[in-house]
Every structure is written in C-alpha cells, then in structure tokens.
Amino acid sequence: MALKLDGRQLAAEIEERLQAAVERCSKSAGRPPGLAVLRVGDDPASGVYVANKEKACSRIGIASYGAHLPASSTQEQVLDTINSLNADERVDGILLQLPLPAHLDEGPLIAAIDPDKDADGLHTFNLGRLLKGELGPRSCTPAGVMALLRRHALPLEGRRAVVVGRSILVGQPMALMLQAANATVTVAHSRTRELERVTREAEVLVVAAGRPRMIGAEHLSPGAVVVDVGIHRLPLPPDAPEGAKAKLCGDVRAEEIEELVSALSPVPGGVGPMTVAMLLVNTVVAWCHRHGLDHGLDDLVV
C-alpha cells in the first residue's frame, strides 16, 4: 500500500507553527500580519476558496483585509484597489483571486502588486527570483508539493522527476523547484509525444494537467512517488438527492495505482490544503521581513 502524502495533516502542523510565530512576533511588530484577498465578481467556486483562506487566516492570527469588487469593475478600478493595498501598512500579502471576469486582463493586475506583498508568488519578479535561486515569495501550490515531499523525507537529489503540465501557476515553478532540489527534471505538456514512455521514467511524478483521471498504471513504473495536483468536481448523477455534494477527483486514477506506487497524494486532502498553508507561510514570512524579525520557517521557504 502506498504511503499517503497527507496534506491535511501537514497543513495543520504548519498552521500550528505559524500561529506560534505570530504570537511570538506580534509584540515586536506592533500589529498582526495582514492578508488582503481581492475578489472581483461572483464566481461561486472563488467564493468558497476566499472563505476558506479567510478562515485559515483567523485560525492563526492573520488579519484579513479582503475587498470584493463587483463583476462590472473596470481594469482601472481593480488597479486602484491594488495600489491602495500596496500602500496599506497593515497589509503584508495581497492575493488576486482568479479567475477574473472576462473583460479584465489579469497580467497587468498581477504585475501591479508590490512583489514583496505577492502572497501567491506569481509576480514576474518573484518567478525570476525562483529561477535565480533568490529568496522571495514562492508559488503556493508547487511550494506546497515540495513541503509535502520533504516532510516524508522522499529523496529528490539525483532522482528522475517528471512534471506533467507547464503552466505558470503550477508546472513551470514546480519544475524549477525540483531542479533546485537537484532532481533531473522533464516537463511534459499537451504536445508531448508518447507521454506514457516519458512518465514511466519518473521516480517522482507530479501531475498538473487539469485532465480528470488521465494518469493510470500504464504511465508509471513500480515504486514511483506520485503527487496529484489536479482537482475536479465530478458531475452529480441525475438521481442524486437535493443538496448532495459533488465528489472530487484528481488527474490520477488513484485506485488503479495505489498498489503500484510507493507514495501518493490523495485528492482531496493532498496538495489542496498545502496550497492554502503556503499562502499563509508567504504572508507570515513577508510580515517578519518587514519588521526585521526571525520567522523560524526556513525549512518551508524553498
């Protein structure tokens, strides 16, 4: 049976450490850390994600300065809000919740966030810092994957790692982080030929293709470590009772590979909770930096 890479458990441990850091440093800082989640419009899934992030903030003592703008907001109005959060001394982290309404252009808006307040680690400047191995806020999902691998002492140095997916949000920074950990990394994408041959080479496989249940036993070699980043809501059966909750699945057919692989992250409860935990880490680390305080979280800052 594969080792379960339990993100829920690790995220809870990280939250405890963050809570302790917030308690320890609040007096010297003179204020709690602050995170501003900026939401535009009424995408229902975003509403749930934002509520979860704000709940996590309150658990560990981060103040939330969320702003919710109407779907009809112009690019200038969103930009103005970002600029005022950049200038707000109480705010250490800013997160622009995606997706935005279709008439808005996310690139210039993310670029307008102060890179040192970039809680999601998606600013061009911070992706450059990652590329060059300089410290800075890291993209939360791949940083969460790295924390999960390290927590279970799964070796990366010299290992063959394959990342399926090359998005700026997940695949690209994931590949850079694995490479920084001295893995030999291959990145596969939708134009990759003979994907199965490529993924069978993997000792560590990270799947972030956004394709429900696409990876199965035919893609894997025995003993591989598999991290499933994908998350999808399965459609409810037509006879589902009212109020029934949709089941979630990942990019991996977990039940098919459990006996084959050495470690596997579950969906839900794997990478998802780690993404939120790393958002909190980025915020607390930025707060400590602004006040010249030691955060004691070096092992989480990849």
Based on the residue annotation, tell me whether 9 is a catalytic residue of this protein.
no
In the structure encoding, which two tokens stand for residue 222, read together? 């025995």
Confirm or reject binding of residue 173 to ligand NDP (CB under 6 A). Answer: no
Q: Which of 6, 118, 120, 251 is catalytic?
A: 120
What residues form DSSP beta bridges with 93?
35
Based on the residue annotation, tell me whether 120 is a catalytic residue of this protein.
yes
State the DSSP code for 74: -
Out of 32, 93, 121, 230, point to the residue binding ligand NDP (CB under 6 A). Answer: 230
**CA–CA distance, 302 with 138 (Å, rounded to integer):** 8
Confirm or reject binding of residue 171 to ligand NDP (CB under 6 A). Answer: yes
* H-only helix segments in 1-137: 7-29, 44-60, 75-87, 106-112, 124-132
In the structure encoding, which two tokens stand for residue 252, read together? 């991996």
Out of 21, 271, 285, 286, point to the residue binding ligand NDP (CB under 6 A). Answer: 271
- The answer to whether the beta carbons of residues 139 and 133 sit under 8 Å apart is no
Confirm or reject binding of residue 209 to ligand NDP (CB under 6 A). Answer: yes
Q: How far is the CB of 251 from ligand NDP (least distance, A)?
A: 6
In the structure encoding, which two tokens stand for residue 295, read together? 């955060």
Out of 272, 283, 295, 302, point to the residue binding ligand NDP (CB under 6 A). Answer: 272
Q: How far is the CB of 140 from ligand NDP (least distance, A)?
A: 8
Q: Is 76 exposed, middle or buried (0-12, 13-18, 19+ CB in 10 A)?
A: exposed
Confirm or reject binding of residue 121 to ligand NDP (CB under 6 A). Answer: no
Confirm or reject binding of residue 141 to ligand NDP (CB under 6 A). Answer: yes
* Interacting residue ranges for ligand NDP, rule: CB under 6 A: 141, 164-167, 169-171, 188-192, 195, 208-211, 214, 229-232, 271-272, 275
Which sequence positions are flagged as catalytic?
Answer: 53, 97, 120
